[in-house]
Amino acid sequence: MQSKKSKSKEDKILVIVESPAKAKTINKYLGKDYIVAASMGHIIDLPKSRMGIDVQNGFKPEYITVRGKGKILNELKRYASKSKEALLASDNDREGEAIAYHIGEAIAKKHPDLPIKRIVFNEITKSAILDSIKEPREIDMNKIKAQKTRRTLDRLVGYNISPILWEKVKRGLSAGRVQSVALRVICEREEEIEAFIPKEYWTLKAEFVKNKKEITAELHKVDGEKIEFRNKNEIDILLEKIDVNNFVVSNIQTTPKTIKPTPPFITSKLQQTAANRFNFTSKKTMSVAQQLYEGIDLGSERIGLITYMRTDSTRISNQAIDEVRQYIAENYRDALPDNAQFYSKSDKAQDAHEAIRPTSAYRTPESVKKYLTPDQFKIYSIIWERFVASQMIGAVYENTVFYITSGNVDFKISNSTTLKEGFNLCLNLLKSKETEKSAKVKFELGEKVNFKQYLPEQHFTQAPPRYTDAAIIKFLEENGIGRPSTYAPTISTLQDRYYIVRKSKQLIPTVLGKLINKIITTSFPNIVDVDFTAKMEKDLDGIENGTTSDIKLLTDFYSPFIEKVEIAQRSLESHKKSFEEETGELCDKCGKPMLKKLGKYGFFLACSGFPECRNSKPIPLADCPRENCGGKIVGRKKAARGKEFYGCTNYPECDFVTWSKPTEYNCPKCGKFLIEKNDKIYGTYKLCIDENCGYKQIEEH
């Protein structure tokens, strides 16, 4: 007869998730009858040291236990030996399905009689977890095929092109399907900026006075037509013809305008909003969202605050809609629409998950604020606000335009009045930051208006803006390149390879990035073709849906691709010395010349006597501003936060430091270096490092 102790062990159910944080949350819901363990992501995967794809044998992948994960796998098998059933609970996407499949296969080999099932959930709440356990399913083999095909494609590209880059440029470089397209787009935008020639143009405003209040109006039309001024002379010619004593209100147009709420967040829109509102990188946004999804301790309970954060669908469950409508009825009664609001999905959306939403509308940002970090509060707040607002009525405004006319010249003043707040009632961090530029005034039709002065203003056309995290994600999403799970890693990889750098919010290609882009666009045009890459994503979706053959897709891709690889190996010229430059400086350790070289994090100085002499140091950016110091300012990393600061090479004798990066320009007043600053008043400008000097160089636009 079995002892009570051994029986209780064998009666347990093993639940395998991906992360310890998720395991901790779920364990609180399931209790003592379950063992909840974490796999720490992929346990079985392709090898890192070789391609691991048998091209001649139907592109068969070579799977191995990931280095360092053997102990975890053995522990999962040990837990399985004590369990009557195993439930694979990794994320409900292709990667999660692959993780579940490989773990299930490994456990089944050791315990062939153990029942193994797959469970999925969109949120980590007690009800969602318990419901998923009641409805286990089999592994989705079409998802496995799609993941395996995507992984194989990336291997074929990366492990064939990367060695060429190592041989022709430098070691440590890489190429990838999605990252190469993103790099191409960033480089092409930079080429547009470099080739851009500004053109002068002028705008005209007029200042009027009513009740001692100055009111600014903008030029609307001349002779009923819009007009553009190329220079000041064209404005002067027009002004000579206007009778400033004859301005009257010639027309008043009042129109209601309704602004509808936007759908709840999908991954790309969350990343874009966090970038624009909080200056968060995509990687940071997803990291914070993951924490909110996996579970937060709220005093008496631990719960996932948001649904799964990798999604391209705006769909919301009926249960969530019923709850949020109840919340709105209790808190914003007048803003509750008669019926629930539904949002159409994109043609490119897989629609595998709901939109990103709070797991309960009643869990308001303020009610959980004390349990969250500042970053968690920001991300949770905008998710909550966007979701609740999406089920409220639109905001209604009354727009009034006054046309002030003299002869054939019309100026206009616009006013906007809020008639109904609608969804704005629940917004805080997502409230529009736009402010009315015109004064709130009222005119009567036919009223004479007192003219004060003209306000002509010179402008120059601007080059197209560089891509930001938000803008490049928007581009990738709109063109069907990559998936919600790939946007943030794509940008991070480009930065890690030093193909791009981030300056303020802008993504700027480096000289290395431009060279890599040139090589790939010339030798492998399909890899960086937007339409080709988008079609590949659709084909992967087709494999998941069971309508496309994985082997046919790989065969059709590989044959022409490998031909181009062979051509590139033979014909590409070497760029090995492109990033080595003599400096005229001698090594202070061995006396040999120092070279300017390109490393993983950018350029640095290295001794030409390497490997015998391994002396290296940062490149000086400017002369130290301290009198009689003679040192150079170089970049340094602050270990605690990883943030770069700038200090003197004569440290500790000279303790000068600054967080602001020196520019290549010196102050025309005192000769010390200028730093680059950015604020809302002046935009980007240069400032003297010496506060006592105070020289400021504002860029003209």
Q: How far apart are CA 456 and CA 458, in angstroms?
A: 7
Is the pLDDT assigned to residue 435 strictly greater than 50?
Answer: no
Q: How far apart are CA 66 and CA 598, in angstroms?
A: 31
230-234-235 Cα angle (round to 5): 105
Encoded tokens for 447: 């009223």
**pLDDT tens per residue across span 291-345:** 999 999 998 899 999 999 999 999 999 999 999 999 999 999 999 999 999 987 7
Q: Could you tell me if 274 and 310 lie in one domain?
A: yes
> Going by DSSP bridges, is the β-strand pair 83-88/116-118 parallel, antiparallel, or unpaired?
parallel
Give residue 351's pLDDT band: very low, low, confident or very high (50, 70, 90): low
Q: How far apart are CA 493 and CA 515, in angstroms?
A: 16
What's the CATH code of the domain at 73? 3.40.50.140
pLDDT value at residue 3: 39
Q: Could you tell me if 73 and 191 lie in one domain?
A: no
CB crowding 561-589: b at 16 or more within 10 Å, else e: beebbeebeeebeebeeebeeeeeeebee
Is the pLDDT assigned to residue 438 strictly greater than 60?
Answer: no
Q: Could you tell me if 110 and 165 lie in one domain?
A: no
Residue written as token pair 């356990």: 133
Q: Could you tell me if 323 and 351 lie in one domain?
A: yes
Q: Could you tell me if 303 and 211 lie in one domain?
A: no
Q: Which structural domain range is residue 692 located in?
A: 580-698
Q: Could you tell me if 209 and 315 lie in one domain?
A: no
Q: Three-class SS of residue 585? A: strand
The one catalytic residue in 29, 34, 101, 308 is 308
> Backbone phi, then psi, for 610, in 5-degree steps?
-60, 140
pLDDT value at residue 691: 86
504: DSSP letter: T
User: Which stretches does DSSP call E strand in 273-391?
Assistant: 296-297, 302-303
Is the pLDDT assigned to residue 637 strictly greater than 80?
Answer: no
With the C-alpha atoms ordered 533, 534, 538, 541, is the resulting torsion angle positive or negative? positive
Helices (H), 118-171: 126-134, 141-168
pLDDT value at residue 307: 96
Q: How far apart are CA 124 and CA 360, in angstroms?
A: 11
Residue written as token pair 């905008």: 382
Provide the CA 473 distance to its chain's centre, in angstroms: 6
Instruction: Return all residues near 183 (Cβ < 8 A) that are at least 6 apart.
Output: 494, 499, 500, 509, 513, 516, 517, 520, 528
User: Which stretches does DSSP call E strand in 94-232?
Assistant: 116-118, 200-210, 213-222
| Domain end position, chosen among 123, 139, 155 | 139
| Per-position DSSP letters for 655-685, written without gaps between them | --EESSPEEEEE-TTT-PEEEEEEETTTEEE
Encoded tokens for 333: 């009664």
Given a contact cutoff of 8 angstroms between Cβ atoms, the answer to whether 88 and 16 are in contact is yes
pLDDT value at residue 627: 87
Name the average pLDDT for the chain. 90
- Over residues 399-408, the mean pLDDT reads 95
Is the pLDDT assigned to residue 618 strictly greater than 90?
Answer: no
Number of domains observed in the structure of the chain: 5
Which is nearest to 73 in space by CA: 25, 116, 110, 121? 110
Q: Could you tell me if 204 and 184 lie in one domain?
A: no
| Domain end position, chosen among 390, 419, 442 | 390
What's the CATH code of the domain at 292? 1.10.290.10
Helices (H), 279-355: 282-294, 318-331
What's the CATH code of the domain at 409? 2.70.20.10
Q: Could you tell me if 283 and 385 lie in one domain?
A: yes
Give residue 433's pLDDT band: very low, low, confident or very high (50, 70, 90): low
Provide the CA 323 distance to its chain's centre, in angstroms: 30
pLDDT value at residue 680: 58
**pLDDT tens per residue across span 189-231:** 999 999 999 999 999 999 999 988 999 999 999 999 999 999 9
Q: Could you tell me if 401 and 252 lie in one domain?
A: yes
Is the pLDDT assigned to residue 15 strictly greater than 80?
Answer: yes
Q: Which residues pair with 489 in a beta bridge?
A: none
Helices (H), 332-436: 365-368, 374-390
Q: Three-class SS of residue 688? A: strand
Q: How far apart are CA 217 and CA 205, in angstroms?
A: 6
Q: Could you tell me if 351 and 498 lie in one domain?
A: no
What size, in residues, is the chain? 701
Q: Could you tell me if 327 and 306 lie in one domain?
A: yes
pLDDT value at residue 638: 62
Given a contact cutoff of 8 angstroms between Cβ atoms, the answer to whether 430 and 276 are in contact is no
What's the CATH code of the domain at 545? 1.10.460.10
Which is nearest to 53 in space by CA: 157, 140, 141, 144? 157
Q: How far apart are CA 77 and CA 37, in angstroms?
A: 11
User: Which of the pair, 435 or 50, is modelled with greater confidence?
Assistant: 50
The yes-or-no answer on residue 343 being catalytic is: no
Provide the CA 31 distance to its chain's centre, in angstroms: 38
Given a contact cutoff of 8 angstroms between Cβ atoms, the answer to whether 579 and 595 are in contact is no
- Over residues 581-606, the mean pLDDT reads 86
- Over residues 575-604, the mean pLDDT reads 84
Encoded tokens for 507: 């993504």
| Domain end position, chosen among 410, 429, 460 | 460
Q: Could you tell me if 689 and 641 lie in one domain?
A: yes
